[in-house]
């Protein structure tokens, strides 16, 4: 059986990481992998997470399954984090299940969509997170794209986006990034969200919102603006959330998939299908990461500490954007890179050619994806001079 297989190409980001690890250049810089790093280049465990883990170890008394839905407390807290005091919660129209990370949430959502309509079409932004297309196609969905990022002008193709979504079918699904768009960093502003939500209500397509970076853009409340407005605008929607970035729980693999139905009865039926999907993929979700998150969110002390630590990460990323732009100017680079400071979250396109990206790697040991998508968290005061100088040389 195995003899009929042909080798598939490795994930480009994982390939970059492997090359970076064996590179002997002491000045090497990793701008490829999408994880938060502190000034020392380390992805440290948050202090609030350490405290919650200690509580977990001291109080956990069983390793029995927690059921397909996962922890009820975690699910409730994730829904409140996303929707706040929204009416959909009071109306009992929200159902959430714990998932193995944000990717697991997206795959659960994809299989749920297939159960609703086999072969359904899902529209994703151009560009979008590289794994979106593969996991949707793996679930049997048809993937199409709508215009989003203007590479030439380093801006949003909003009018083209609206025109394309105006022609989306009523039974189609549209994937939207809640905040910190991956890979462009270019987000919808509040006025643009209002237009998209109005269009969703008018055309009747189902929104699937991917929220992997809540709190990494402008703040926890601000980053949920589009999610909450969409919940006000439409009768049905799907939300996929991740705790990898904002809680730093990358290897714990904990996320959530949330559905909103038009009424309690419809939502309960949809939830039964959602649970069937879960049962057939991984049966029961992991418990440890969820326990950490719910411990933090249900403790005033730990929640406040989390807010403070999250603000540190957010402010560092935003500061790194300005730091790079300032250093490029100091190197005498004439090209305007100020667009980097206008974007949000972990990523931005540097806007150089694949050949120049390769030169940065070969000549200066600076690693980023061929599209010039760079992880802003990889920039530090200790390497930004070398980074800016290298970019100036290849330009």
Q: What is the CATH number of the domain that holds 351?
A: 3.90.1150.10
In-domain check, residue 223? yes
Task: Quote helix, strand, coil % in the chain, to nearest 5.
Answer: 50, 15, 35
pLDDT in tens, 33-71: 889 999 999 999 999 999 999 999 999 999 999 999 999
What is the spatial distance between Cα 288 and Cα 37, in angstroms, rounded to a whole number?
23
**pLDDT given at position 12:** 78
In-domain check, residue 52? no
**pLDDT given at position 8:** 86
What is the spatial distance between Cα 340 and Cα 349, in angstroms, rounded to a whole number?
8
332: left (phi over 0), alpha (psi -120 to 50) or beta: left
Residue 92's domain is classified under what CATH number?
Answer: 3.40.640.10
Give the residue carrying structure tokens 């950490």.
292
**In whole numbers, what is the pLDDT of the chain averaged over residues?**
96
**pLDDT given at position 163:** 98
Rounded to whole angstroms, what are the CA distances from 248 to 306, 309, 342, 360?
A: 11, 10, 24, 29
User: Of 129, 154, 223, 306, which one is the catalytic site residue?
Assistant: 129
In-domain check, residue 165? yes
What residues in the chain have per-residue pLDDT under 70?
A: none
Looking at the structure, tell me whether residues 260 and 139 fall in a common domain: yes
**pLDDT given at position 17:** 85
Residue 258 makes CB contacts below 8 A (sequence gap 6+) with 78, 79, 82, 94, 95, 96, 97, 238, 239, 240, 241
Looking at the structure, tell me whether residues 170 and 279 fall in a common domain: yes
Find the Cα–Cα–Cα–Cα dihedral 6, 12, 18, 22, rounded to 10°. Answer: 120
**pLDDT given at position 22:** 94
What is the spatial distance between Cα 303 and Cα 154, in angstroms, rounded to a whole number?
36
**Residue 248 near residue 36 (C-beta atoms within 8 A):** yes
Is 87 assigned a catalytic role? no
Tell me which of 263, 298, 333 is where a domain ends.
298
DSSP 320-369: HHHHHHHHHHHTT--S--THHHHS-SSEEE----HHHHHHHHHHH-EE--
Looking at the structure, tell me whether residues 242 and 334 fall in a common domain: no
Looking at the structure, tell me whether residues 247 and 153 fall in a common domain: yes
Is 170 assigned a catalytic role? no
**pLDDT given at position 359:** 97
Looking at the structure, tell me whether residues 185 and 270 fall in a common domain: yes
What is the spatial distance between Cα 182 and Cα 37, in angstroms, rounded to a whole number?
17
Residue-wise burial string across 371-393, b where 16 or more C-beta atoms lie within 10 A, e elsewhere? bbbbbbbbbbeebbebbbebbbe
In-domain check, residue 322? yes
**Residue 321 near residue 43 (C-beta atoms within 8 A):** no
pTM here is 0.96
**pLDDT given at position 44:** 96
In-domain check, residue 55? no
**pLDDT given at position 31:** 96
> 83 is in which domain, residue-wise?
65-298
Token pair recorded at residue 78? 């994730």
The 10 Å Cβ neighbour count of residue 394 is 16
How many structural domains compose the chain?
2
User: Of 123, 245, 306, 344, which one is the catalytic site residue?
Assistant: 245
In-domain check, residue 356? yes
User: Of 210, 223, 306, 344, which one is the catalytic site residue?
Assistant: 210
Is 193 assigned a catalytic role? no
Residue-wise burial string across 147-184, b where 16 or more C-beta atoms lie within 10 A, e elsewhere? bbbeeeebebbbeebbebbeebeeebbbbbbbbbbbbb
**pLDDT given at position 255:** 98
What is the spatial distance between Cα 159 and Cα 386, in angstroms, rounded to a whole number?
39
């Amino acid at each position: 059986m195995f003899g009929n297989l042909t080798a598939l190409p490795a994930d480009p980001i994982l390939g970059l990481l492997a090359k970076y690890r064996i590179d002997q250049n002491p000045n090497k810089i990793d701008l490829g992998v999408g994880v938060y790093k502190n000034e020392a280049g380390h992805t440290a465990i948050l202090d609030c997470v350490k405290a919650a883990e200690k509580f977990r170890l001291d109080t956990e008394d069983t390793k029995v399954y927690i059921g397909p839905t996962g922890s009820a407390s975690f699910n409730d807290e994730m829904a409140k984090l996303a929707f706040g005091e929204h009416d959909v919660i009071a109306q009992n129209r929200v159902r959430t299940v714990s998932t193995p990370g944000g990717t697991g949430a997206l795959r659960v959502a994809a299989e749920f969509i297939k159960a609703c309509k086999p072969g359904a079409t899902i529209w994703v932004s151009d560009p979008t997170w590289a794994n979106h297309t593969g996991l949707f196609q793996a679930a049997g969905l048809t993937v199409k794209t709508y215009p989003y990022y203007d590479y030439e002008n380093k801006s949003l193709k909003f009018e083209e986006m609206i025109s394309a979504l105006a022609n989306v079918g009523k039974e189609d699904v549209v994937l939207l990034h809640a905040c910190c768009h991956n890979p462009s960093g270019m987000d919808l502003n509040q006025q643009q969200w209002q237009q998209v939500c109005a269009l969703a209500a008018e055309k009747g397509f189902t929104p699937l919102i991917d929220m992997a970076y809540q709190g990494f853009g402008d703040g926890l409340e601000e980053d949920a603006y589009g999610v909450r407005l969409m919940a006000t605008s439409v009768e049905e929607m799907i939300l996929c959330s991740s705790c990898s970035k904002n809680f730093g729980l990358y290897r714990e693999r904990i996320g959530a998939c949330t559905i909103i139905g038009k009424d309690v009865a419809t939502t309960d039926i949809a939830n039964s299908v959602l649970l069937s999907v879960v049962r057939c993929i991984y049966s029961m979700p992991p418990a440890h990461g969820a326990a950490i998150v719910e411990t933090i969110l249900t403790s005033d002390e730990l929640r406040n500490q989390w807010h403070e630590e999250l603000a540190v990460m957010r402010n560092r990323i935003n500061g790194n954007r300005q730091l790079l732009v300032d250093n490029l100017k100091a190197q005498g680079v004439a090209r305007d890179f100020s667009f980097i400071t206008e974007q949000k979250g972990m990523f931005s396109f540097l806007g150089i050619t694949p050949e120049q990206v390769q030169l940065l790697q070969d000549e200066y040991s600076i690693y980023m994806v061929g599209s010039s998508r760079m992880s802003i968290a990889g920039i530090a005061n200790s390497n930004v001079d070398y980074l800016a100088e290298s970019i100036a040389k290849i330009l």
